[in-house]
A and B are shown apart, each in its own frame.
Chain A
Amino acid sequence: MYLAAEGGHNPILPIWQELVVGTIAFALLVFVLLKFVMPRMETMYQARVDAIEGGLKRAEAAQAEANQLLEQYRAQLAEVRTEAARIRDDARADAEGIRQDILAKAREESDRIIAAGKEQLVAERTTIVRELRTEVGTLAVDLAGKIVGESLADEARRAGTVDRFLDGLESAGAR
């Protein structure tokens, strides 16, 4: 070939100095960039992906959490409402119970007072009857003595005596 003969270069055959220079230069390039630049590049890339996708995910997570909290608050609110209703019902039931108690006690008390009064009445009646019995005896004896002593002369006097006796009897009974 006249080309090769003329210049002495075959383009398919490498120049060995260029192989060496190429290797060293490219190795240097690879070393510097892989050590100082590319790791940060990947980190930044991840950070950006995270910033975008992560932002969306975080927003979704926040939304979900907010919804969950809302549900929770609603549940708690409902719980509290039923609790309040229960307490109100309890209070009402208690009040009713207390009222019933008080009423029962009052009734009992009044019954007791009435019973005591009745008993006292009975007792007083028996004493009165007893006293009356003894008194009626003496009165009868007195009256009989007076009747006998007056000698039954005068109808009118007799009637007066009887009246006086009865008055005496009434006043004694009223005492």
Chain B
Amino acid sequence: MSGQLVVAQDLPWPPSVNDFYPPAVAGPWVTKFTLMVWLAVGLVIIFYMAAYRNPKLVPSKGQWLAESVYGLVRDNIAREQMGNAGIRFAPYFTVLFSFILITNFFSIVPGLQISPNSHIAFPIVLSAISYVLYLAVGVRKHGLLKYLKMSLILPGVPWPMHFLLVPIEFLQNFVVRPVTLALRLFANMFAGHLLLLVFTVGGFVMLSADNLFVQVTSVFSFAMAIVMAFFEALVAVLQAYVFVTLTANYVGTSLAEEH
């Protein structure tokens, strides 16, 4: 009974924001999060290098997997959103997708149990790159002025409406897009981790309660934690897909001739 109490006291309850900030391994540069990012980079590089060390027309399993990811991004995201012009961007989108996917999956990998993307810094980096990418593509394709005009001024609208529409369009294209891109990924991973914490830690807390009934019901809490882990896997894939799809969509609108 006393041992159970010690466990309960060790576990932080209720889960708080501080659970997302474990103590640094060695200073602010070497933390669990930075190490996980390096790990993700290493894993993705090793995976693709190994899979594509010796590519063949009839692929091996690893090569097939790598090509499936590439094919998904190339045909179902880049070409779907941008037409044939998107194929040019498919390599970058594939890297982006792979990176987000694996970092998201860290949230349910035993031992890691949290995604680097639940620290907003990493989604900000990714969305900033997407932001710069679609602005650069737009400016390069149309020139700065024409791109601004295309982005801000809706064709076929009575001119007084522009007083209302131009600020809205500006917000939409130059502020809301990158911010939501980063926030969406961050919030999903943050909330997912919080949910897992609630049900897992909550289960332990219930187990260490004095009441037998509460101890028994902790089973439901653990079961819910398992369900949430699967849900988290789904969210991991979905958010990676959504992030890359939206990036492709934004780059596609920059390339488009009309508004």
Residues of A within 8 A of B (CB): 3-4, 6-7, 9-19, 21-23, 25-26, 28-30, 32-34, 36-42, 44-45, 47-48, 51
Q: How far is the CA of A37 from the CA of B95 in the complex (A)?
A: 10
Number of A-B contacts (CB under 8 A): 120
Task: Answer whether A23 and B41 are a contact pair too, CB < 8 Å, given A6-B16, A41-B66.
Answer: no
B41 A25 Cβ-Cβ under 8 A: yes
Q: List 27 A-B contacts (CB under 8 A).
A: A3-B16, A3-B17, A12-B120, A14-B121, A15-B28, A15-B119, A18-B34, A18-B121, A19-B124, A19-B125, A22-B122, A23-B125, A26-B125, A26-B126, A32-B45, A32-B49, A33-B45, A33-B91, A33-B95, A34-B92, A36-B49, A40-B55, A41-B66, A41-B94, A45-B71, A47-B57, A48-B57
Distance of A101 from chain B, by nearest CB (Å): 76
Q: Is the CB of B18 within 8 A of A9?
A: yes
The answer on a CB contact under 8 Å between A34 and B91 is yes
Which residue in chain B gives the minimum CB-CB distance to A21?
A: B34
State the CA gap A165–B38 with chains docked (Å): 164
Which residues of chain B are near A41, meaning CB under 8 Å? 52, 55, 66-67, 70, 91, 94
Q: Closest CB-CB distance, A132 to chain B, in whole Å?
A: 120
Which residue of the partner chain, among B21, B34, B67, B129, contacts A45 with CB atoms under 8 Å? Answer: B67
B contacts, CB < 8 Å to A: 16-18, 20-21, 28-29, 31, 33-34, 37-38, 40-41, 44-45, 48-49, 52, 55, 57, 66-67, 70-71, 74, 87, 90-92, 94-95, 99, 116, 118-122, 124-126, 129, 186, 190
- Which residue of the partner chain A has the closest CB to B29? A17
Chain A nearest CB from B192 CB (Å) reads 13
How many Å lie between the Cα of A9 and that of B95 in the bound state?
A: 30
Give which listed residue, B70, B87, B119, contacts A14 with CB less than 8 A: B119
CB distance from A2 to the nearest CB of B (A): 9
Does A44 contact B67, Cβ atoms closer than 8 Å? Answer: yes
Q: Which residues of B contact A42 (CB under 8 A)?
A: 87, 90-91
Q: Known interface pairs A11-B190, A26-B129. Does A37 touch B49 (Cβ–Cβ under 8 Å)?
A: yes
Bound complex: CA A25 to CA B121 (Å): 13
In the assembled complex, which residues on chain A have CB atoms less than 8 Å from the CB atom of B116?
22
User: In the complex where A6-B16, A40-B55 touch, is A11 in contact with B94 (Cβ < 8 A)?
Assistant: no
A18 CA to B38 CA in the complex, in Å? 11
- Closest beta carbon of chain B to A63's beta carbon, Å: 23
Q: A11-B17, A26-B41, A29-B45 are in contact. Are A18 and B119 (CB under 8 A)?
A: yes
**Residues A18 and B18 in contact in the complex (CB < 8 Å), given A34-B92, A41-B70, A44-B55:** no
Question: From B120, which residue of chain A is reached at the shortest CB distance?
Answer: A14
